[in-house]
Amino acid sequence: MDGVTRVYSKHAATKGKAENALLAAMKERQDQGRQPVENISFGEVARRWLSSIEPAKVVVDERGEETWESPRGRIRRQTWDQYEAVMRRYLIPGLGALPIRSIRTSTCDAFLRSLTVDGKGSSNVRIGKTILRQIMSYAIRHDLYVDANPVLEVDRLSRNAKKPQALDMPALEAIRAAVRNWRSEPGVPGPAPTSALSDVVDVMLGTGARIGEVLALRWQDVDLSGEVGKVSITGTIVEPRKGPKFRQDATKTASGARIIPIPRFVVDVLLRRRLESPATNTIGAVFWTRNGTYMQAWDC
């Protein structure tokens, strides 16, 4: 395609054959104008795409907080890490050697279905489909693929979503007791356990919050002044595959910021921890380390 108007003519024994020859010639000309500049492997295109969306390095201050100097990219570092892991484990081994031009809807459909075994692996399918769609869009934008995005026509893949099951009180108390008694037997080697693990578990059970959200709680997020205590979920602790861990002032999803009323046993935990909070806890973390930073999951 060069924007120049041309007149085409074809001759044949019959009108129908001439028309068919003319259409074939026009399609050939059109296809020539749409040929990709490269015929490279899916794996190479995938690596180019992943590099193109990699976010810049997060800037973390001495307290473990993400600073305002941190760039705000299209995706967060933990999302990129997840994309990289799924691509490395599944997409590259499964599709990497194929020429990018050979990828079809049937190719994508068969590959995505192969990620589930006995009904398990739906999260890999969901993330894999997202990555595959974006890789093919990247290929189209860079003239490496000339057809429509083949992932758009992949049939909807069924998900075996499990219905959430709430814990009853006996089960909840059994979990709390097991955590409190962990490593409490005489003769267990290593440092004596602290209350940190049981406190984290109690707050998780009483709020339904993720562990990263619980560890990101600050005293400014806690309100124990009324008849019913409340905590505000405003951030999460991020543990990227590379680089320092930090508190991200945003939850996993846009709807994640919320205010949660808490039961009495969580109020008791928070009251005790507030009294125990040392002077070195200058960041006001509900779950602190002796260095004055936010506790990580492996610290509990």
- Does the pLDDT value for residue 69 go beyond 70? no
207 and 149 within one domain: no
- What is the number of domains present in the chain? 2
The domain that holds 221 is classified in CATH as 1.10.443.10
At residue 83 the predicted structure's pLDDT band, cuts being 50, 70 and 90, is very high
CB within 8 A of 19, min separation 6: which ones? Answer: none
244 and 138 within one domain: no
Tell me how far apart the alpha carbons of residues 175 and 269 are, in angstroms, rounded to a whole number. 16
Q: 28-54: b or e for each residue (b if 16 or more CB lie within 10 Å)?
A: eeeeeeeeeeeeebbbebbbebbeeee
At residue 298 the predicted structure's pLDDT band, cuts being 50, 70 and 90, is confident
User: Is 146 in contact with 36 (CB distance < 8 Å)?
Assistant: yes
Tell me how far apart the alpha carbons of residues 89 and 131 are, in angstroms, rounded to a whole number. 13
Over residues 103-126, mean pLDDT: 88
Bigger pLDDT: 93 or 249? Answer: 93
290 and 203 within one domain: yes
Whether 175 is covered by a domain: the verdict is yes
At residue 38 the predicted structure's pLDDT band, cuts being 50, 70 and 90, is low
93 and 206 within one domain: no
What are the phi and psi torsion angles at 210 (to 5°)?
A: -70, 160
Whether 217 is covered by a domain: the verdict is yes
Whether 134 is covered by a domain: the verdict is yes
* pLDDT of amino acid 87: 96
51 and 146 within one domain: yes
204 and 294 within one domain: yes
Tell me how far apart the alpha carbons of residues 202 and 172 are, in angstroms, rounded to a whole number. 10
122 and 84 within one domain: yes
Strands (E), the chain: 222-223, 230-233, 236-238, 246-248, 258-261
Whether 241 is covered by a domain: the verdict is yes
Bigger pLDDT: 22 or 141? Answer: 141
What is the SS3 assignment for 288? Answer: strand
DSSP conformation class of 57:
P
Whose tokens are 């990497």? That residue is 96
The domain that holds 128 is classified in CATH as 1.10.150.130
173 and 149 within one domain: no
* pLDDT of amino acid 101: 94
CB within 8 A of 52, min separation 6: which ones? Answer: 138
Whether 262 is covered by a domain: the verdict is yes
Whether 13 is covered by a domain: the verdict is no
Q: Which among 131, 269, 247, 249 is positioned nearest to 197, based on CA atoms?
A: 269
Whether 20 is covered by a domain: the verdict is no
By percentage, how much of the chain surpasses pLDDT 90?
48
205 and 136 within one domain: no
Neighbouring C-beta atoms of residue 22, cutoff 10 Å: 15
273 and 174 within one domain: yes
**Residue 241 exposed, middle or buried by CB count within 10 Å (0-12, 13-18, 19+):** exposed
CB within 8 A of 168, min separation 6: which ones? Answer: none
* pLDDT of amino acid 252: 56
- Does the pLDDT value for residue 159 go beyond 80? no
Tell me how far apart the alpha carbons of residues 91 and 84 are, in angstroms, rounded to a whole number. 10
Structural domain of 85: 42-153
Q: Which among 270, 289, 267, 266 is positioned nearest to 278, based on CA atoms?
A: 289
At residue 28 the predicted structure's pLDDT band, cuts being 50, 70 and 90, is low
At residue 118 the predicted structure's pLDDT band, cuts being 50, 70 and 90, is low
At residue 283 the predicted structure's pLDDT band, cuts being 50, 70 and 90, is very high
Over residues 254-272, mean pLDDT: 88
| Cα dihedral: 102, 105, 106, 110 (round 10) | 100
Whether 98 is covered by a domain: the verdict is yes
* CA-angle at 10, arms to 8 and 16, nearest 5°: 120
127 and 201 within one domain: no
Whose tokens are 């003239």? That residue is 143
148 and 59 within one domain: yes
CB within 8 A of 123, min separation 6: which ones? Answer: none
